[in-house]
């Protein structure tokens, strides 16, 4: 069964190397002809792009009654830069570390929800592939997700949070940009922490989120948006406050979301994450959502005021968005851990190219190489450079067993 290759020290943040780390001389001629950059029609077996209607009963009912979540403490790149939302104590070194704190669900939380709501779902193969919460195929997809990081064209890894998503949050936090009135898109968002981080920075930013699987959008993306914006645990009494052996100081003056964290002193512990830092080792508590459809509808309406959720394959997404002019397009496009399959590079690149505003930028966070699947950042960069439309620059890199980078794309002058 395929698993991405990650190492134990993947969350160690080096000093950012803001210089372009790639040797441009190495960018050989592309073997792929330019005309192949056009997006091919969606094969019938791929999920077609569409807008997810958050107000449907299916979508409302996929929200759990009890929302289990974790706290992800993401170390900021430049300690002391004022980019942090909290200070956490690293229990191994005993040192204070400035972190951005976001709430997130994980795969186990989702499985727990499904198991509670459908007796047919367990650790074994599902008895049937339908479930009122996940919809047709959802149970099957979740069972697969427990065993494999991705099943191409079926499940693309969005139920977990991957390391580069945390890099992207750390990088965005360091940039301290003003997002007021901006339009942002996160492609292949999964748990969507980068897009959600941007959402928490402004009441007037629009952040659209896209994932291949509607189940990911319903069970992880939407709950994560709610947890970090309109249904924040620090504004509501958690149903279970059993994890009390932890320690975190929340800064009064640098809150995550517009002044709402005044006197909070939460009891969390920052533990240096282990093998899969993005997917575990964080505090787990639970929160009760409104159980009436009206209550959920009201929450979802708040999400809709700033975000649209798109599902399905990248091919067809730009047509679906039907931009009238350049102003309709996005100021910032974010994407993390989405270049692992080289055969998807052209359609991902075409989506970025055709939905980014002139003067905007795209940030692609990725590992330099994906063992087992073959995608790599160099070949993605070659594709872009061959097209000749964008300048590319590595704006962040972290040494680890597999090196991680953030590639910035801006239109050539
Ligand atoms: C490994 S996950 C990364 C999720 C998230 N960005 C993160 O870093 O935690 C890869 C994501 O890419 C998206 N993806 C992969 N291939 C896709 C395709 N052909 N069309 C649309 N989305 C795709 C999936 O939605 C999936 O969530």
393 lies in a domain?
yes
Q: Which residue has the tokens 């080289």?
A: 342
Q: How many CB atoms lie within 10 A of CB 391?
A: 15
Which of 98-102, 209-213, 353-357 is least confident?
98-102
Residue 369 in any domain: the answer is: yes
Higher pLDDT, 84 or 133: 84
pLDDT in tens, 304-335: 999 999 999 999 999 999 999 999 999 999 99
Q: Is the pLDDT of residue 260 over 80?
A: no
87 within some domain: yes
Ligand 1 atom nearest residue 46's Cα = 19
Return the residue whose CA atom lies nearest to atom 14 of ligand 1.
188
Which residues does ligand 1 sit against, CB inside 6 Å? 156-158, 161-162, 164-165, 188-191, 211-212, 216, 313-314, 336-338, 344
Integer Cα distance of 220 and 198 in angstroms: 17
* Residue 394 CB contacts under 8 Å (≥ 6 apart), including other chains: 17, 19, 20, 21, 22, 405, 406, 407, 408
- Output the pLDDT for position 129: 54
60 HSE (CA, 13 A, CB side): 15
For residue 1, tell me if it sits in a domain. no
Atom of ligand 1 nearest to the CA of 335: 6
pLDDT at 247: 39
Residues 121-125, mean pLDDT to the nearest whole number: 53
Query: If you measure from the C-alpha of residue 15 to the centroid of ligand 1, how many angstroms do you get, rounded to a whole number?
Result: 27
Q: What percent of the chain has pLDDT over 90?
A: 48
Structural domain containing residue 286: 24-411
Q: Is residue 178 part of a domain?
A: yes
CATH code, 401: 3.40.50.150
Residue 127 has pLDDT above 70, yes or no: no
What integer pLDDT is reported at residue 43 of this predicted model?
52
Task: Give the C-alpha separation, 4 to 376, whole Å.
Answer: 13
Structure confidence by residue, pLDDT tens digits, 201-243: 999 999 999 999 999 999 999 999 999 998 888 777 665 544 4
The CA 341 to ligand 1 mean position distance, Å, reads: 10
* DSSP letters for 165-213: HHHHHHHHHHHT---TT-EEEEET-TT-HHHHHHHHH-SS-EEEEEES-
Choosing from 41, 157, 192 the residue with most ligand 1 atoms within 8 A of its CB, the one to mutate for a pocket test is 157
CA of 259 from ligand 1 middle (Å) equals 32
What is the average per-residue pLDDT within 385-411?
96
Name the average pLDDT for the chain.
78
Those residues with Cβ within 8 angstroms of residue 273's Cβ, 6 or more apart along the chain or in another chain: 11, 280, 281, 282
Token pair listed for 365: 């966070």
- Position 118 scores a pLDDT of 65
CB 188 within 8 A of CB 158: yes
pLDDT at position 181: 98
Q: Would you state the pLDDT for residue 235?
A: 78
Query: Is residue 1 over pLDDT 80?
Result: no
Reported as a pLDDT band with limits 50, 70 and 90, residue 273 is very low
The number of domains in the chain is 1
Question: Higher pLDDT residue, 244 or 338?
Answer: 338
Least confident range from 27-31, 44-48, 263-267: namely 27-31
What was the pLDDT predicted at 209?
98
Q: Is position 55 within any domain? A: yes
Query: Does 119 have pLDDT greater than 70?
Result: no
Residue 274 belongs to a domain = yes
Reported as a pLDDT band with limits 50, 70 and 90, residue 283 is low
Assigned domain for 54 exists: yes
Greater model confidence, 281 or 212: 212
Nearest CA to ligand 1 atom 20: 313
């Amino acid at each position: 069964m395929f698993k991405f290759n990650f190492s134990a020290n993947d969350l160690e943040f080096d000093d950012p190397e803001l210089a372009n780390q790639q040797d441009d001389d190495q960018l050989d001629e592309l073997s792929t002809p330019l005309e192949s950059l056009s997006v091919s029609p969606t094969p019938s077996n791929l999920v077609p792009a569409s807008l997810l209607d958050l107000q449907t009963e299916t979508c409302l009912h996929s929200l759990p009654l009890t929302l289990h979540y974790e706290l992800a403490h993401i170390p900021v790149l430049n300690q002391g830069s004022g980019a942090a939302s909290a200070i956490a104590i690293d229990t191994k070194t005993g040192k204070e570390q400035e972190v951005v704190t976001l709430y997130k669900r994980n795969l186990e939380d989702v499985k727990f929800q499904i198991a509670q709501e459908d007796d047919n779902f367990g650790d074994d193969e599902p008895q049937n592939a339908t479930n009122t919460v996940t919809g047709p195929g959802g149970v099957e997809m979740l069972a697969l997700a427990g065993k494999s990081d991705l099943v191409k064209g079926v499940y693309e890894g969005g139920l977990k949070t991957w390391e580069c998503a945390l890099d992207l949050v750390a990088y965005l936090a360091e940039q301290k940009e003003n997002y007021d009135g901006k339009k942002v898109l996160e492609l292949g968002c999964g748990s969507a922490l980068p897009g959600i981080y941007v959402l928490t920075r402004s009441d007037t930013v629009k952040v659209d989120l896209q994932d291949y699987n509607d189940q990911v959008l319903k069970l992880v993306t939407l709950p994560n948006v709610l947890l970090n914006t309109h249904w924040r645990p620090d504004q509501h009494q958690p149903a279970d406050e059993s994890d009390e052996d932890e320690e975190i100081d929340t800064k009064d003056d640098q809150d995550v979301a517009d002044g709402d964290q005044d006197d909070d002193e939460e009891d969390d512990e920052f533990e240096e994450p282990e093998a899969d830092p993005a997917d575990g080792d964080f505090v787990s508590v639970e929160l009760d959502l409104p159980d009436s459809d009206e209550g959920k509808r009201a929450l979802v309406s708040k999400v809709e005021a700033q975000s649209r959720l798109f599902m399905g394959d990248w091919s067809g997404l730009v047509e679906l968005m039907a931009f009238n002019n350049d102003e309709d397009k996005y100021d910032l496009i974010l994407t993390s851990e989405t270049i692992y399959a080289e055969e998807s590079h052209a359609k991902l690149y075409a989506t970025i190219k055709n939905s980014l505003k002139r003067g905007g930028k795209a940030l692609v966070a990725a590992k330099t190489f994906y063992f087992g699947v073959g995608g790599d950042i160099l070949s993605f960069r070659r594709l872009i450079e061959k097209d000749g439309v964008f300048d590319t620059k590595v704006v962040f890199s972290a040494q680890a067993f597999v090196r991680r980078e953030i590639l910035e794309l801006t239109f050539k002058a």
